[in-house]
Chain A
Amino acid sequence: MPFPANYRYTREHEWIKVDGGQATIGITDYAQNSLGDIVFVELPKVGDELSAGKTFGSVESVKAVSDLYAPASGKVVAVNDELNGAPEKINSDAHGAWMVRIQLKDAGEVNKLLSSDDYDKFVKEEGGH
């Protein structure tokens, strides 16, 4: 699955999609594929502050539990509660299954993240398969 060109990416395999002063965050299709079947997602609450590069939750698959790293700083304005009952949405549509929406603190932070081309190159080097 190609990585959407209008998203930005972290080396920890999160995507962020900016929409005005707000942004939605999720994990990439490469991440869900490496993790395998996802069984549980632990997300922050509305009102929590995310800090760029720090963990904001975790995602658990049949293989492992992985931390989620915030691509940018900001206050959580919405959480995708649907994922609690249906974590498999992340497996079937990683780039659509957003986890949190934040009010961006500094839009400039997003520009420092990887573009879709750079991320594609990064995962090809990292994974090998």
Chain B
Amino acid sequence: MKPKSRKVSQHVTQNEALIFEKSSPGKKAYRLPPLDVPDVDAGKLLGEQVREDLGLMPEVSEIEIIRHFTRLSTWNYAIDLGMYPLGSCTMKYNARVNEFVARLEGLGNSHPYQPEKISQGALRIMKTLSECLCEITGMDVITLQPAAGAHGEFTGILLMRAHHESKGNPRKKIIIPDSAHGTNPATAAICGYEIINLKSSAEGMVDVSLLASLVDDTVAGMMLTNPSTIGVFEKDIHRIADLLHDKGALLYMDGANMNALVGKTRPGDFGVDVMHLNLHKTFSTPHGGGGPGSGPVACKKLLEPFLPAPVVTTRADGRLGFEYNRPQSIGRVRAFYGNFGMFVRALAYIFANGPDGLRQTTEDAVLNANYIRKKLDGIYDLPYKTGSMHEVVFSDRLQTQNGVKTGDIAKRLIDYGFHPYTTSFPLIVPGALMIEPTESESKEELDLFVDAMKSIAREVEEDPQLVISAPHDTRVARMDETTAARKPVLRWKPEQTNEARQSPKPELVETR
């Protein structure tokens, strides 16, 4: 078989059953030392609440567990293997220096129940990171508690609501552009607001005159992503902020796309009142595979009284501590103080780069996206001609003439050794291909990607069926995503496995 690209060749991976299917009664992966404290009868303490039958749990030996997860790990695609151009997700390299610092003994073994006086280093990290993020965003104060982006949005809109409530009226509506991440309207709805959908202009930006007609004193605020989800900077951002502020409404910024702004411009300077950051995007902490994420929320002084408690404070003797006495606080939004391990990594990233390094990072991210744009423009349709920032959005308009859609091209890209780009988002572009290379990629890797995309475009012309039926070189052929969504099987049962063995479903047939 002719190699498709210098990036890939065939590679043996081992088949692996579900861990439940490997179970044999009585096998154990542990042996406990003899009990050297008095035995306690859980039944006596807990009464009816005690649970002795754990149900169906896998029973396997230690090496079986190790092999199970190691084999599964060889099926993965990861940023450490190659480019991961999943637009809007900023899948950048997670530098090893972050991991080195996070594993330092005093940090790796720290515990949230440690007394304050022996947690001074951890508190200093939280305080220093807070100061760095406030400087980068141009905001006044910050909470590090939220666990990820959508949780940050929720926290931010609760702050907005608390602010309006403190003035006597929480207001009713939040304006959200039609290009927004789906989490934005979900957040506004769960915070009790009615969503006003704002149609984008022909350039894919906020239609300022339309916005002006919608803002009144029933509007609590607007949720805006800048740069927008088509990777375009809102050039009228000052006017947008002024329009809202004139009516007492606030501007929330979804910080998902901060990788295009760090070190160049600051949301606090262009009128944003409250925003979240995704440490697992912009600040290189792990993303995907469980992260965990981290979504700090930065805001202007006017929202400070409402920040989640506790906040890090400097005591009279100069020591750091947690301040719990916050009468107007929206309350805690996360157990303990947030995903602390991510604060360590994000701060390591900030210090390893320094201000000039962070600025360079932003410039490289924008340069890489525009390199891809230039190389693929014309081969793939570019629906919005406005200048791209850190990501570029094409459409499948040219390929649909041969019956090939964005999802098919994405599947074919797997055969070329790349993680797919984001498909079908943003919704304002029918058949979107949303590509975000990040600053991590060299010109050589970008060229491999461009070659793969050009090669697929040729295949669409010459043999569309090859693309429509992709992927071909993966462990399993194309999954039936529709049936998986319509009739999901969420729980393993022994009889299902036996059935599946007797009549393998077509989508599970090995391709080689």
Q: How far is the CA of A64 from the CA of B400 in the complex (A)?
A: 19
Asked whether any CB of chain A lies closer than 8 Å to the CB of B491, the reply is no
Interface residue? B427 (CB, 8 A): yes
Give the distance in Å from the alpha carbon of A36 to the alpha carbon of B486 in the complex.
13
Give the size of the chain B interface in residues (CB under 8 angstroms). 13
Q: Whose C-beta in chain B lies nearest to the C-beta of A91?
A: B482
A51 to chain B, nearest CB (A): 12
- Establish whether residues B431 and A129, one from each chain, have CB atoms under 8 Å apart when the complex forms: yes
Nearest B residue (CB) for A88: B486
Residues of A within 8 A of B425 (CB): 64
| Contact of A1 with B by CB under 8 A | no
CA distance A40 to B486 in the complex (A): 7
Chain A's closest residue to B431 (CB) is: A129
Q: Is A127 in the interface zone, CB < 8 Å from B? A: yes
| Interface flags, B400-429, vs A, CB<8A=1, else 0 | 100000000000000000000001110100
CA distance A60 to B482 in the complex (A): 11
Q: Could you pull out 12 A-B pairs where Cβ atoms are within 8 angstroms?
A: A34-B430, A37-B485, A39-B482, A39-B485, A39-B486, A62-B485, A64-B182, A64-B425, A87-B486, A128-B397, A129-B430, A129-B431
Task: Tell me if B397 and A65 are in contact (CB < 8 A).
Answer: no
Cross-chain contact A129 with B397 (CB below 8 angstroms): yes
Task: Assess whether A127 is in contact with B486, with CB atoms less than 8 Å apart.
Answer: no
The answer to whether B482 and A64 touch across the interface, beta carbons within 8 angstroms, is no
**Interface residues in chain B, defined as those with a beta carbon under 8 Å from any beta carbon in chain A:** 182, 397, 400, 423-425, 427, 430-431, 481-482, 485-486
The CA of A63 and the CA of B425, in the complex, are separated in Å by 8
Interface residue tally on A, bucketed by range: 10 to 19
Q: Bound complex: CA of A87 vs CA of B482, how far in Å?
A: 11
Q: Which residue of A lies closest to B488 (CB)?
A: A39
B68 → chain A, closest Cβ, in Å?
30
- A55, closest chain B residue (CB): B195
Contacts of B400 on A, CB cut-off 8 Å? 129
A88 — which chain B residues lie within 8 A by C-beta? 486
The residues of A that contact B482 with a CB separation of less than 8 Å are: 37, 39, 62
Give the Cβ gap from A68 to chain B, nearest Cβ, in Å.
Answer: 13
For B397, the chain A residues whose CB sits under 8 A away are: 128-129
| Contact (Cβ within 8 A) A62 B430 | no
Chain B residue numbers with a CB within 8 Å of A127 are 430
Bound-complex Cα distance A127 to B400 (A): 12
In the bound complex, do residue A63 and residue B486 qualify as a contact, i.e. CB atoms below 8 Å apart?
no
Closest chain A CB from B384 CB (angstroms): 13
B429 to chain A, nearest CB (A): 11
**Which residues does chain A contribute within 8 Å of B182, judged by CB atoms?**
64-65
List B contacts of A87 (CB < 8 A).
Answer: 486
Contact with B along A12-48 (1 / 0, CB 8 A): 0000000000000000000000101101100000000
A34 to B431, alpha carbons, bound, how many Å? 9
Q: Which residues of B contact A36 (CB under 8 A)?
A: 424
B427 touches A64 (CB 8 A): yes
Q: Give the nearest-CB partner of B396 in chain A.
A: A129
Q: Closest 6 interchain pairs by CB?
A: A39-B485, A37-B482, A63-B424, A39-B486, A62-B481, A129-B400
Of residues 46 through 81 on chain A, the ones whose CB sits less than 8 Å from some CB of chain B are 60, 62-65
A39 to B485 alpha-carbon distance, docked (Å): 6
Given the complex of chains A and B, what is the CA–CA distance between A40 and B182 in angstroms?
17
* Across-interface contacts of B486 in A (CB, < 8 A): 37, 39-40, 87-88
Docked pose: A35 CA to B239 CA in angstroms? 34
Max chain A Cβ within 10 angstroms of own Cβ: one of B400, B431, B481, B485: B485
Closest to A37 in B: B482
Q: Are B485 and A40 in contact, CB atoms less than 8 angstroms apart?
A: yes
User: How long is the Cα–Cα vector from A12 to B14 in the complex, in angstroms?
Assistant: 49
Task: Give, as a whole number of angstroms, the nearest-CB distance from B305 to chain A.
Answer: 34
Given contacts A37-B485, A65-B182, A128-B397, 20 further A-B contacts (CB under 8 A): A36-B424, A37-B481, A37-B482, A37-B486, A39-B485, A39-B486, A40-B485, A40-B486, A60-B485, A62-B485, A63-B424, A64-B182, A64-B425, A64-B427, A87-B486, A88-B486, A127-B430, A129-B397, A129-B400, A129-B430
